[in-house]
Structure 1
Amino acid sequence: MPLLEVEADLAARARRVMADAGEPLTDERLRLVLLCAHPRLSREAASALSLRLVLGVPTADVARLFLQSTPTMAARLTRARKKLAGERFALPQGAELADRLAVAADVAYLAFTAGYAPATGDAVVRAELAGEAVRLVRVLRDVRPPDGDPDRATELDALLALVLLQHSRRDARVRDGAPVLLPDQDRTAWHQDEIGEALDLLAPLASAPPAPYLLQALVAAEHAIAPTAAATAWDRVLARYDELLALTDTPVVRLNRAVAVAEVAGPRAGIDALSGVALRGHRLPSLRAELLRRAGDLDGARHAYDAAVALCDNAAERDHLRGRRAELA
């Protein structure tokens, strides 16, 4: 079944199904995500299909979120659509509903990432997509079963705090169409109401067991509470990344941890922390270029900037990288 037909079919069925014993699940986007989270699909396939069909994230961006090539992701999406073609859709209850809500949380997080740091196009941030992801997390918290798994409830609270903290910076992340790095952002342009809400969500979670969304939210909170970039408690940020690495050792976590290592122990230590990291796209060579620049290796920085520019599919970021390279002259 062609993609548009599947999407239309999902939307039509979503309008007919009930979430629980006559109680309609009124949020259209969430219903569609839950329908995509069919038990015939793996969690990753369901998340990817939801991002593409329900939220309209470009295939190339979906591929980057899952650290895959665009052709590989396109093939996976095609297989997922075929698996759902002809399936009977009904929203589940009980434990299965809780499992599908967990998939929906993953979708919201990935959608936010696609809006916060688009891999393609010419926008520094897609605020509308990021804002829709924030709204979806709010809906998930509203519909979660009251007697559900408390750890999942904690992670949903942490996820909302995380996306609020990141989203609060949206206006400061762009100047004249160009990206503004975190140390250079005007912190008075950060949305303090969203930061306050996020910190209130995190306060009761201080003694909660470490979990991925919670640790990322605590890192974001360190930036939010620092009055200036120089005042950031990078030792605490690094400690959080060490905890996160122990839970989920991924190239993205190692990349972000290397930034904290460089701030605590210097750029050479940050470069060493990148050893063995393999990651598609421009973000790895772009970070290496910045660290080499700080370490005084300008030739190495030039080569790394060139590699990053060649791999960057976002026009605004590509222009930014070219500008940073030109400054080395």
Structure 2
Amino acid sequence: MTARPDILCIGAMLWDVIGRAPHRMAPGADVPGRIRHIPGGVALNVAVALARRGLRPAVLSAVGRDPEGCALVAEAERLGVITAHLARDTGLPTDTYMGIEDSEGLIAAIADVHSLENAGTAILTPLDAALSGWTAPVVLDGNLTADLLDAVARDPRLAGADLRVVPASPGKAERLESLIAARRGCFYLNRLEAEILAGRACSDAATAAQAVVARGAARVLVTDGPRPAAEAMAGAPALTCPPPPVAVARVTGAGDCFLAAHLAAELAGRPRDAALRQAVEAAAAHVSGKDVP
């Protein structure tokens, strides 16, 4: 029998195809580099990072029964993630993300999450049975459709859950509006995503976090690349924490590591400032490549 998980990660579970060049690239460049084919998707990335910290995360997502899906499930299980609650019988192929990075960071990316989007509420079916009465943390990612995120915000099965919300990309940040309106969740954003939700430009992470709180969010954490990250929440002082300087080895997944480290720190009872510092350090380690298994 599968042990009941500590945390649910709801959203994308897919294969990442990441091409990285060691030098800066110009538009249209065709250069030598490295291409990696690794498990990915926000929900799975967070779950893997949580499993590394000794927790028992489960992913609710749609994964096909094609060879890619079977291989992905096997690898996720090897990494300590509970996969027993996935939607597997949708008749849809396994999703894929493709990203191009250079020495400065992400150049461009395409996320093909049509199977997740088409599966819709089917991925939440375990909440009626094996995962009923859920009150522990839930990580939500913006790869879910706006309608499904809105449904989650109002879902009585998750009324007592501690929601941790991440948009997945700036292009999907606006999907979180219903959760902000419902005053549900702790939001993990980069500065551009925070600016989109705030509706204005912001000079730094602290300003951006406070601006999203002013829009109605109860709690917001904002990262800003090599500049200080920040946390803001209603009725409490804002916090900031500068990341350590590191050489950039990769960028995809850094925000997911940040979220996982912050959540793990809070579950361990660490105070706000220590939890923020642990998250910043984890993201920096990921960017530097030091946490590669």
TM-score normalised per structure 1: 0.31
Q: With CA pairs under 8 Å and 6+ residues apart, which has the higher RCO, 1 or 2?
A: 2
Higher helix share: 1
TM-score normalised per structure 2: 0.34
Which structure is larger by alpha-carbon Rg, 1 or 2?
1
Higher strand share: 2
